[in-house]
Structure 1
Amino acid sequence: MSQTLTHTSHDDEDAHLAALGYTSDFKRDMSLWGNFSLGFTYLSPVVGVYSLFAFAVASGGPASIWAVAIAAVGQLLVAMVFGEVVSQYPVSGGIYPWTRRLWGRRWAWMAGWVYMAALLVTIASVSYGAGPFVAMLLGITPSTGVTVGCAVGLIVVVTLLNFGGTALLAKLAFFGFAAELVGALAVGGWLLLTQRHHGLGVLFDTAGTEGDGSYLPAFLTAALLGVYLYYGFEACGDVAEEVKDPRRQIPKSMRMTIYIGGFASFFITLALMLAVPDFGKVVSGADADPVTTILQNAFGSVGFRVVIAIVLISFFSCALSLQAAASRLVYSYARDRMMPASHLLSRFSSARAVPPYALALAAVVPTLIILGSMVSENALTKIISFAALGIYLGFMMVVLAALRARLKGWRPSGPFTLGRWGLLVTVAAFGYQVLAATNMSWPRSPDAPWYDNWIVLLSAGIVISAGLVYLLVARPHERHDAPYGDAIPTASRGDTTVG
């Protein structure tokens, strides 16, 4: 009976996909928990918190922890908007097919281009960030060569595993989620029991980071800790054609990444914050790596390496999920002939049930970015500066498209809708995205050369300009007749659809 019901459910989803203009070769091997785990490991609270904790404390003191909670609320609003869209349009590739249906082909081209660039750079960033942890685990001195070698090795391994197909991806994502969550709870719990140097009142202490002025600028700088978290939920929609009952399950898994990821992020940040021996040393730079200091004090040399091994699992799972999401976006993009070499990138391996060339692109480009760091580490920093802003811009383009479509008469028709709260939530989500992106790109290095001070906006400008040039010259949006702009009722659409 259950096999019959499952087969019927798959037939229903395939029929719905066909009504949207697509047929799929993917296998629906991913359950709710597999889909959630993909989004959670993409979000990876351990990677985000451990990477940015020192920066947040040095910039805003222990009160910076509230940025983690604020960002969770803001991104939950975005996740609910995404849930409405994917519930109606459960098509692989996420941001690109959503914006195509909500607005039009040109808008979808730019959204897909910006987000694809951001994902490929983020894969490089996460892989590169794992290098120093490998060095600590092995007890060797970190160096550029070691970091680059570890990063490239990580990309090779996750690529080979991603070639294993959807079922293997789901299992590995769930393993990564379980290891990261258990690790975060175990480490955080032990720190709270044995390394608590402060009471909860310290969470409202600025540690003097405001200087002689307002604390707001210091907090906004430290708030990047929260801004760089919580965007893994989009990956749940990238694999829509591989999920069982995606119209109901994906909106649920998106929200779960915020609920569980938000709890894990706040818990580990709280535990680390209360375990900092001396905030003054972190603010002054005397303790430039408080996470390592705390973990070594709490666990000793052997226990410290066990914790580092768990952290590395988080980096590994994050890179795996990022690459899976990027490859599905590339495949979806190429399936509609929207990019160069589309005939190659849209090929699908029936034996492995993955798009092999799209996966290869999601391995080669990050590898080239990492290898570029051997020529100029500063160049790598400049490239990576775009990554997080690019993700926020891609999200913003979806939310803006949803807001525009709603104002023009779109009424979400999937199983998950926000009902009468839809417009308010969409406006609030867009407002959060604008504020977060502005804070992320705001220049904060007045003593640096102007191009370094404005590097985030400059890098975004370069990516957007390159996309616009290709769009105007090559006109890829005219190569395929896949549906677009049809979320808006025909009577309201007029001639304003961006084709």
Structure 2
Amino acid sequence: MFMSRLTDKMFRKEDPNVYESKDSHLVRSLKTKDFLALGVGTIVSTAIFTLPGVVAAQHAGPAVALSFLVAAIVAGIVAFAYAEMSSAMPFAGSAYSWINVVFGEFWGWIAGWALLAEYFIAVAFVASGLSANFQGLIAPLGFKLPGSLSGASTGSNGGLVDLFVVIIVIMVALLLSKGASQTARVENTLVVLKVLAVLTFIVIGFTAIKASNYTPFIPKYHPNPDGSAFGGWQGIYAGVSEIFLAYIGFDSIAANSAEAKNPGKTMPRGILGSLIIAVVLFVAVSLVLVGMFHYTNYANNAEPVGWALRNSGHAMVATIVQAVAVVGMFTALIGMMLAGSRLLYSFGRDGLLPKSLGQLKNNLPNRALLVLTIIGILLGAFFPFAFLAQLISAGTLIAFMFVSIGIYALRRREGKDLPNPKFKMPFYPVLPALGFLGSLGVFWGLDSQAKIYSLGWFVFGMIIYFAYGIRHSNATTRTHKK
């Protein structure tokens, strides 16, 4: 009897009308151009200035462009599923809310908890990277913080706290607390500047390409000293798992679907459009970068784009591009904090975390934003956590798998208790299965450390769910009232 009641609670599906009613207080102000800017701003971040060179040197050689294409194909298939889900269910919380409706509370919690790891760590990662690059830019001008204020407390440089991380995260939080529409105006302007900088690199770098640097395009396979693959299809595959982190930003668009105007049209256009723009830019940067200099020059190079420009006689352009890279990280931080706060709001809205997180102030989830800000500051300012980098991809890939197979459950309910969406995933039922298998394949390629940390995060999540969430969820409260 106890087990029966427990499983009934775990697998009960949320009524979509409940979400629609609760999210109705959020202002629907975001248009397609806002979602395009949000997606491009989050996806085309610091990764475009670093990953092409890093992955070329470590795994794929000139074939790094193929790694970006394969990763884009997997992300693109999942993006179709995201587009249909967000068109049918324009609720805050993206995959968490969708899976709660189509599969039940327990599976929704798993998907949402996976995404929460992405947002917590991504906010801290981006803020830390932005701080490091900003300090590098101002150092030649004579501005330098004391060592105790310029690095994390557990680092090797004697730092106590990264003051710039604290300032940056608070600045973005203050901007977001004013509302999505005001944030979108800032985001749109910064994204245009960033795309112009990337295009500048592509045009100028194209003049320095040497055809010999592309030969052989796919180097011969051999294992690296650390056991990872270099060359051949193995190297391309290893590159895909490392690169996939660059494409996960379109989830940040879906998390804000409760604030979209005409979500049936704006959400698919924003998700798919931003991904297409990102793919073109990533592949173009990769091809130009490995064409300018032999890929071996980018080994252990933290700023391959800037290095390539300086060593081809374009020092001033390199400085400008690096300055815009800082701006690019700022736009990514806006996207991650916007989406993360909406996810935390969704947990509080449903009672799986304290209900105060689901309360709105001036029709904005600013309490959830405050919690995300505090956690982002604690992680980014006090803890160096580069070893957790792939955990971001791990959590998101798990959510991607849920969303892909969730299309099958969604189709059975469209036109019944869920509306017929204006956008549907093509090539059904084949494409959802390919999205699941592709995400699983990329997840399998992550290193063992990332998988171990993911397991630890999920064990922690299960403790919270069974100790608090399952007893305080709104679905449980409604059942007891009956």
Amino acid of the structure 1 residue aligned with 2:266 = Q
* Alpha-carbon shift at residue 43 of structure 1 (Å): 1.1
SS in 2 for 1:29: coil
2:192 maps to 1:178: yes
Q: Where does residue 256 of structure 1 map in the other structure?
A: 273
Match of 1:469 among 452, 459, 463: 463
- For residues 75 and 144 of structure 1, the distance between their equivalents in structure 2, rounded to whole angstroms, comes to 41
Which sections of structure 2, spanning at least 5 residues, go unmatched? 1-15, 152-161
From 403, 406, 421, the counterpart of 1:401: 406
1:244 to 217, 241, 261: 261
Are 1:157 and 2:171 counterparts? yes
Q: 1:402 to 1:31 in 2, by over 3 A?
A: same
CA contact (8 A) 1:114 1:390 kept: yes
- CA drift of 1:172 comes to 1.8
Pick from 271, 288, 307 the counterpart of residue 321 of structure 2. Answer: 307
Partner of 2:209: 196
1:141-152 pair list within 5 angstroms: 145-146=149-150, 148-152=162-166
Q: 1:407-448 deviations in whole A, cap 9, x for unaligned?
A: x676772111136x22111011111100111112x3xxxxxx
Residues 209/37 of structure 1: CA separation in 2 closer, same or farther (3 Å cut): farther
- Per the alignment, in what secondary structure is the counterpart of residue 25 of structure 2? coil
Q: Equivalents in 2 of 1:52, 1:254: separation in Å?
A: 22
Residue type at the aligned position of 1:58: A
- Partner of residue 223 from structure 1, selected from 234, 240, 245: 240
Aligned match of 1:291: 305
- Aligned match of 2:432 in 419, 426, 429? 426
Structure 1 residue 300, shift from structure 2 partner: 4.3
1:206, CA displacement in angstroms?
1.9
Task: Please state how far the C-alpha of 1:144 moved relative to its aligned partner.
Answer: 8.2
Aligned partners of 1:312, 1:214: CA distance in 2, in Å? 32
1:298 positional shift: 4.2
Counterparts of 2:302 and 2:375, CA distance in 1: 32
Q: Any idea what SS the aligned residue of 2:428 has?
A: helix
* Structure 1 counterpart of 2:361: 349
Partner of 2:377: 367
* CA contact 1:210–1:217 (8 Å) conserved in 2: no
Alignment of 1:18-417 (within 5 A): 20-44=20-44, 46-59=45-58, 60-140=60-140, 145-146=149-150, 148-193=162-207, 195-198=208-211, 201-202=214-215, 204-206=217-219, 215-276=232-293, 278-283=294-299, 289-298=303-312, 300-339=314-353, 341-342=354-355, 344-350=356-362, 353-373=363-383, 377=384, 380-403=385-408, 406=411, 413-417=420-424
Question: 1:158–1:320: 8 Å Cα contact kept in structure 2?
Answer: yes
In 2, are the aligned partners of 1:61 and 1:208 still within 8 Å (CA)? no
- Cα deviations across residues 372-421 of structure 1 (Å, max 9, x unaligned)? 32xxx3xx233444122111112222223334555x676772111136x2
Q: What amino acid maps onto 2:377 in structure 1? A: T
Count residues with an aligned counterpart: 441
Secondary structure at the aligned position of 2:340 is classed as helix
Measured against aligned partners, the alpha-carbon deviations of 1:231-276 in whole angstroms (never above 9, x if no partner) come to 2222222111211101221012111011111111111222212112
Secondary structure of 1:61 counterpart: helix
Encode CA deviations 1:330-388: one digit per residue, 9 max, x unaligned: 1112111111x22x2112121xx421111111211111112332xxx3xx233444122
**Change in 2 beyond 3 A, CA 1:470/1:43:** same
The CA distance in 1 between the partners of 2:284 and 2:467, in whole Å, is: 50
- Please list the CA deviations of residues 287-339 of structure 1 after superposition, one character each: whole Å capped at 9, or x if unmatched: 66533321223464443221111111100000011000000111112111111
Q: Check conservation: 1:382, 1:459, Cα contact below 8 A.
A: no
Deviations 1:150-209 (A, max 9, x none): 32222111111111211112112212321121111111111112x213358447142776
Query: Whole-Å Cα distance in 1 between the matches of residues 358 and 284 of structure 2?
Result: 42
State the AA in 1 paired with 2:110: M
Partners of 2:56 and 2:62 within 8 A in 1: yes
Give the SS at the match of 2:420. Answer: coil
What CA deviation, in whole Å up to 9, does each residue of 1:446-485 have, x standing for no partner?
xxxxxxxx3211110111001112222224366213999x
Tell me how far apart the structure 1 counterparts of residues 30 and 425 of structure 2 sit (CA, whole Å). Answer: 25
> 2:437 is matched by which residue type in structure 1?
G
| Structure 1, gaps ≥5 residues long | 1-15, 443-453, 485-499
Specify the alignment match of 2:3 in structure 1: none
Give the TM-score normalised by structure 1: 0.81
Q: Distance in 2 between matches of 1:213 and 1:252?
A: 37
Distance, in Å, in 1 between the alignment partners of 2:369 and 2:284 is: 34
Per-residue CA distance 1:101-126 (angstroms, 9 max, x = gap): 11001111121112112211111111
What is the alpha-carbon distance in structure 2 between the residues aligned to residue 73 and residue 292 of structure 1?
28
Q: Percent identity of the aligned residues?
A: 18
Pick which of 387-396 and 409-418 moved more. Answer: 409-418
Q: 1:490 — aligned with what? A: none
The correspondence for 1:437, drawn from 434, 437, 443, is 443
Change (3 A) 1:201 1:483: farther
Mapped to 2, the partners of 1:219 and 1:145 lie a distance apart of 40
TM-score with structure 2 setting the length: 0.84
Aligned to 1:497: none
Aligned alpha-carbon RMSD (Å): 2.8
Give yes or no for contact 1:79–1:255 (8 Å, CA) kept in 2.
yes
**Partner Cα separation in structure 2 for residue 365 and residue 213 of structure 1:** 37
Return the letter of the residue paired with 2:393: A
